Structure 1
Amino acid sequence: MTPQRINSRRQQRGLSFIGVIFVGLFIVCAFAIGGQSIPIFIEYLAIKKAAAKAARDGTTVPEVRAAFDRAAQIDDIQSVSGKDLEISKRNDKVVVSFSYSREIALAGPAYLVYRFQDSTQP
């Protein structure tokens, strides 16, 4: 063998077949979890928007809950309802707080849990 052939074999780099399989499995798992996570984050943003609107529109606790429930029907919010909100006043402004969790079943007894907690700014 010539020295050029020996050097070219040493310079070859890349993934083996098993490496490609592991990378492929990782990508498939990332897409599967991401595909289930995106709707959860979209719902969180809708809840945050509905809570802010309810805090602006309502002055009493029942008004705020009703305003949130109307927005929840429009945006198809399932995780939180008006009765789950914590409503208070700070400096004569309504503050709406919420806290909830959502989970994604991974495999067998394994779950991925998202916990959300937020409040509107006074």
Structure 2
Amino acid sequence: MTLSLRQRQRGVTLIGLLFWAVVIGFVALVGMRVFPTLNEYWTIQRTINKVAQEGGTTVPEIRAAFDRQKDIEYSITSISGKDLEITKVNEKVVVSFAYDKEVPLFEPVYLLIKYRGTSR
């Protein structure tokens, strides 16, 4: 009779709590290190869309317009105007870019992110 009244205790063990703390801490570390690179990518993408629409008609004009915008947007450090690939598709200027970004997580471990984009 007393066995049926007993209920099994449930809860989080100390080892389980430490495991989840390490997992959540690692995910937070990666997020804090990766977010600035994502912000830079989004800024570059906005900039090349603007430059492709308003920057000019020749390759040097478009590169110069990107470099001027880069000077305004201080968050762009990974590429410059000379790294852009500029083409014309159906009489529309298309600006493309690609670059790699190494994100240091902790001393011997780095995260390599390959960014690529094209104007719309």
Give the TM-score taking structure 1 as reference length.
Answer: 0.89
Aligned partner of residue 79 in structure 1, secondary structure: coil
Partner of 2:108: 109
Distance across 1 between alignment mates of 2:72 and 2:65: 11
Residues 42-81 of structure 1: matches in 2 within 5 Å? 42-57=39-54, 58-76=56-74, 77-81=76-80
Instruction: Count residues in correspondence.
Output: 118
Residue matched to 2:98: 99
What letter matches 1:66 in structure 2? A
Residues 32-84 of structure 1: CA deviation (Å, up to 9, x unaligned): 11111111111000000111111112211011101111111111200110000
The letter for the 1-side match of 2:33 is Q
Alpha-carbon separation, structure 1, partners of 2:11 and 2:114: 40
Q: TM-score, normalised by structure 2?
A: 0.90
Percent identity at matched positions?
Answer: 45
Amino acid at match of 1:119: T
Q: Give the letter for the 1:69 counterpart.
A: D
Q: 1:28 aligns with which of 25, 30, 38?
A: 25
Per the alignment, residue 2 of structure 1 pairs with 2
Asked if 1 retains the 8 angstrom alpha-carbon contact of 2:29 and 2:105, the reply is no
RMSD of aligned residue pairs (Cα, Å): 1.5
Consecutive unaligned residues in structure 2, runs of 5 or more = none
Structure with bigger RCO (C-alpha 8 Å, 6+ apart): 2
* Deviation >3 Å, runs of 4+: none
